[in-house]
Amino acid sequence: MRRFLIIRLSSIGDIVLTTPVIRCLKQQVPDAEVHVLTKASFRSILQHNPYIDRLHLLDKNYLLLIDQLKQLGFEQVIDLHHNAKTLRIKRDLGVSASSFHKLNIEKYLLTAFKVNVLPEKHIVDRYLDAVKPLGVVNDGRGLDYFISEADQLKQEDMPGAQWGGFVAVVIGAALGTKRWPTDHFKSFCQQLNHPIVLLGGEEDRERGAEIASTDPIKIYNACGKFSLNESADWVRRSKFVVTGDTGLMHIAAAYRKPIISIWGNTVPAFGMTPYYGSDEVPHELLEHKVWCRPCSKIGYDRCPIGHFSCMRKIEPEQVLTIARQWLHSSIG
């Protein structure tokens, strides 16, 4: 038995983007036993993944965790987070380790000086470089996302208007500069002649109610009412997804859903666009190029300059045109 530990501590989308490494390592290395370490708060993302032999959770008791991991005798640690915390974990475990090129300098040059020297390489392929010495190659099958039967939506969860099919619209995002303005979402949802489900967390419930108020029958506000995996099932059942650069965007890609992605302070050049592997799935990336973009590799609660043109200049009509074309052509 060859025992490996993959580390990715956060966040939703970043963890989903590691799933090709997990699958390819398990399927391509003979006798591989694949363990994964993540933060306890992200357990649900990986707990049903059949390619993981054991999931370890980082919580407050660090020393106990390290002691438990040491006893397992890993052949190699595969670090797909590559920060100070994972450096400490690797040091404390004292076994062979590999990682990936995080491109922090290249990202800094782009955010600070607008000089783009980033390679045209998706982060999934950069993650896979960490297991290349083991003979692991990209199988072209894209991302994975698994939920339990208990997480699947029941008929009573879905209002009648959505039974015949719906468009999933993700209004939530971890940071404000990744969120399309509420008035733009409101205009888009009001004008789209098709049932809609709004997705987001508890913090998005009020915004969702404002958007849904224009037509509460056509537009169902699911924000804050469902767990992450239940929200993933809404995505899975949708015709297609309208979203910002969010974790649910990557979950949608894992389910091979057509995606209209709306980009604010982050840019596709960072290499974290919807990833479908070798599958050809319709998707559109919408961005408005302004001199100050990208202002951050992660994002801010609000535009640091104040104009928020990167998002505001992406008009509802642009998204409506694509959505109507897809509905007319029965995409999804």
Q: What is the 3-state secondary structure (H, E, C) of the chain?
A: CEEEEEECCCCHHHHHCCHHHHHHHHHHCCCEEEEEEEEHHHHHHHCCCCCCCEEEEECCCHHHHHHHHHHCCCCEEEECCCCHHHHHHHHHHCCCEECCCCCHHHHHHHHHHCCCCCCCCCHHHHHHHCCHHHCCCCCCCCCCCCCCHHHCCCHHHCCHHHCCCCEEEECCCCCHHHCCCHHHHHHHHHHCCCCEEEECCHHHHHHHHHHHCCCCCCEEECCCCCCHHHHHHHHHHCCCEEECCCHHHHHHHHCCCCEEEEECCCCHHHCCCCCCCCCCCCEEEEECCCCCCCCCCCCCCCCCCCCCHHHHCCCHHHHHHHHHHHHHCCCC
Tell me the CATH number for domain 153-328: 3.40.50.2000
Per the CB < 8 A criterion, the answer to whether 285 and 263 are in contact is yes
pLDDT at 77: 98
Tell me the CATH number for domain 2-134: 3.40.50.2000
Which residues of the chain, if any, have pLDDT below 50? none
pTM over 0.85: yes
pLDDT at 332: 73
Where along the chain do its domains lie? 2-134, 153-328
> Model confidence over 128-179: pLDDT tens digits?
999 999 999 999 999 999 999 999 999 999 999 999 999 999 999 999 999 9
The domains spanning 2-134 and 153-328 adopt the same CATH topology = yes
Structure tokens given for 81? 């987070």
Pairing of strands 283-287, 259-263: parallel
